[in-house]
Structure 1
């Protein structure tokens, strides 16, 4: 069991403060639940004993006991006799929503999941599966795993990079179990504990998690208004960062696209600072209009390491990603990968290979679906929440919305009560900033997105009318 622990005083400081409403135990449970939902209180963290939290808050132990009981009923706390209580996420919090993004996270409530930016499988998926299964006997005589990935898929991915203007050989490709594992593996090999790593803010939150687990010192650089190359270069030099994690193609979550001149300048800044660039290309194949510039690595194929994924274009259930880099680094990554999971599923790799050979069909379906979703979401927001502002992206899967006030975390908690799950801005950054931002994916059907915005509007009215939270008294 995880030994991470939060003390009574620490949890008291994390809470928003003694609320005015009663009963107090219900408000306390709501605030702890909010901390879990916005990621400030991770799952599997042991909570303070009831008497310790009661003392820190200046309330009775009975009040804390009732709050913990309510959280247990809701699935946010688990307990075991003699072992204490720890945070949890309700079982089925985000079950597969099929093509309609609906789930039963709590009894009697249908939750629309706008926290996940991933579409359902494409129409040709069953055909790809059947073709992959037919090819599976070709691999029965072997050990069943290849740490670098199946040669056929490595060749397909390499050919796609070559088509996009970056000549690539199969021995420059490592197949991974998703882009998340690709990032984790790269940080494991390239970053030592205490190293400075530059990361965009906002950025993909799981990459930040991987850096923190590695013990890296994250140096954030703001890209909310676009890439300031001078600022990025200065950050690289002043922090002596050897690695930078960037998302040049339909940046997650802003949706921005770095043009070719900006890419050349970014690589030049990395060269000047002698830093490696890890370029997350998860959304590269999803322009909704126009085209995407050549890969960032075109400007320095050895210095820029590309990370790709089948999850967004093909299907999230295919836990297949890849890394494109130099052959010597590939060999290092393969050796390091063996301590993770040895290799990716043969069947998943074959399905991915089949789908990549029909990439034009898949992309056309995705573009049609996502364009409809984006247009429906922007229209609903314009009608029901006209004070919310955003720029409709030319690709990717999400809107990055600016709220009139810094209430994103409170809004996310209220939205869940109204039956829609959203990710508040602070999840995508460091130091608790971005409270006036919300990421809203448009991967669900237009009618579902309309319903989601109606629920968000009701949740926002609730947050607007709520009394301001009072600060906690200081504890020493």
Structure 2
């Protein structure tokens, strides 16, 4: 369960809800329904009582009673004791047949097929770049010259090759977070790092706070650990930043053991959390006894020059996760955890139940890349800025009804689709030569059906081909709206 929503908090989310286009109860029900579908009101949240909400909104109790009744009829509000029902989604025919109302959209997708796609298909499910060519090649060439000195050893090191840990620690120190090598554990990518943290710090039924939307593979990892997720919605565009009032409320009400956050060019929205919000977040987590885990995988992909200190600069208790996958190449499979030395030892103990250490040559190469981390970044950022501009212009030209949020950094654009089902688009997309990741994969409980993440990691000509394919796919849906009712689930698909 996701706690309760006060009348004042719901009124703030509703905004100017009564415009007189239809009866007040219907407008109230419609706005609440959209807030649930957008993930702004988490599933399982108890709505205010009819009396308190009618007082706060200055409407009759009959209006609120009728709105709640409409939401129950539509399947968006459970029948609760008295008038305090909890938000939910209408059950599909699969659930009615026995899948159970707790089954989540996307919950069965973690066992996805391999990452390869058929030749000629443009892959928009990955937000990832090809290798920074010569830079990566040169790093591996240097690593091979250093390898002979390590060959007499056993080759196992749960903490990581010392030279790489030293380089990562020096990088943190240079950006204002003093760090010793003993505070670094090298992992096989950021996903591996998150799994280690979860294995060490949470157990089944423990609560983990997550942003709504957030990175699908993180949700899969938290779900696989048997945790209960506490989703907190980001404000919808054109608003920016995070809803810290909602975060603080969730932390104090739910007391989650851990909070997984992506404050640096958030995936999928591309937002950058301001320093003032970072301070509030750290204070709120400390007050609730929650460990903050900051995923910094996209931190180096700053496209607009915005600045913010790493979350760990505001508290030594923050656990930071980083990686070279997005900035340099996913094929490196090199990531890390930065935390206190005592936590690093705890993480190392948890790691040995999963593996005994990473490949040595890759770590030697990664040490060279981290020491010269900025070398390929200016050219990569310039290319990404060009592709971001191209994608936004293409969406405006070919899909003008879509609302695309302009990202401050990262690798993708988060789009709201007023008249399309992202699951249905995902199902028919291969017919038009593209592969997509449906919006519900980025949230908890099947929300974001009317959202789609579109990466701008391809060159402009490929992006034009992809957007034209999206236009054709939506035209097909518009011509056959029954597809939205019959195509209930997108096929299992890997997402990066």
TM-score by length of 1: 0.77
**SS of corresponding position for 1:361:** coil
Query: Is 2:254 aligned against 1:239?
Result: yes
**SS of corresponding position for 1:142:** coil
Q: How does 1:356-375 map to 2 (within 5 A)?
A: 356-375=370-389
Gaps of at least 5 residues in structure 1 are: 1-9, 17-34, 45-87, 96-102
- Given candidates 453, 469, 478, the residue that maps to 1:439 is 453
**SS of corresponding position for 1:323:** strand
Q: Which residue of 2 aligns with 1:251?
A: 266
Contact 1:282–1:309 (Cα < 8 Å) also in 2: yes
Query: Is 2:129 aligned against 1:119?
Result: yes
**SS of corresponding position for 2:319:** strand
Deviation per CA, 1:167-208, whole angstroms, max 9, x where unpaired? 111000000111001111101111011111111110111111
- Given candidates 402, 409, 414, the residue that maps to 1:388 is 402
Deviation per CA, 1:207-240, whole angstroms, max 9, x where unpaired? 1111111111101000143311121111112112
Q: Which residue of 2 aligns with 1:181?
A: 192
Gaps of at least 5 residues in structure 2 are: 1-90, 98-102, 487-496
Q: Which residue of 2 aligns with 1:286?
A: 301
Q: CA 1:415–1:224 in structure 2 vs 1: closer, same or farther (change >3 Å)?
A: farther
**SS of corresponding position for 2:232:** strand
**SS of corresponding position for 2:331:** coil
Structural RMSD (CA)? 2.2
Q: CA 1:471–1:179 in structure 2 vs 1: closer, same or farther (change >3 Å)?
A: closer
Contact 2:107–2:220 (Cα < 8 Å) also in 1: no
Deviation per CA, 1:220-270, whole angstroms, max 9, x where unpaired? 000143311121111112112121110100001011110111100111111
CA distance in 2, matches of 1:149, 1:430: 34
Contact 1:249–1:292 (Cα < 8 Å) also in 2: no
CA distance in 2, matches of 1:168, 1:470: 52
Query: Is 2:460 aligned against 1:450?
Result: no
**SS of corresponding position for 1:272:** helix
Deviation per CA, 1:417-439, whole angstroms, max 9, x where unpaired? 21111112100001110011100
CA distance in 2, matches of 1:310, 1:464: 41
**Count of residues in Structure 1 that have an aligned counterpart in Structure 2:** 386
Contact 2:295–2:321 (Cα < 8 Å) also in 1: yes
Query: Is 2:137 aligned against 1:130?
Result: no
Q: Which residue of 2 aligns with 1:317?
A: 331
Q: Which residue of 2 aligns with 1:343?
A: 357
Deviation per CA, 1:146-185, whole angstroms, max 9, x where unpaired? 1000111001111111111111110000001110011111
CA distance in 2, matches of 1:419, 1:399: 20
Say which is worse superposed, 357-366 or 344-353, in terms of deviation: 357-366
CA distance in 2, matches of 1:41, 1:169: 40
Q: Which residue of 1 aligns with 2:29?
A: none
Contact 1:414–1:460 (Cα < 8 Å) also in 2: no
**SS of corresponding position for 1:359:** coil
Query: Is 2:245 aligned against 1:230?
Result: yes
Q: CA deviation at 1:39?
A: 3.6
Q: CA 1:341–1:104 in structure 2 vs 1: closer, same or farther (change >3 Å)?
A: same
Say which is worse superposed, 350-359 or 170-179, in terms of deviation: 350-359
Query: Is 2:163 aligned against 1:152?
Result: yes
CA distance in 1, matches of 2:213, 2:118: 30
Contact 2:203–2:227 (Cα < 8 Å) also in 1: yes
- Given candidates 429, 433, 439, the residue that maps to 1:415 is 429
Q: Which residue of 1 aligns with 2:72?
A: none
Q: CA deviation at 1:469?
A: 5.5
Q: CA 1:178–1:15 in structure 2 vs 1: closer, same or farther (change >3 Å)?
A: farther
TM-score by length of 2: 0.74
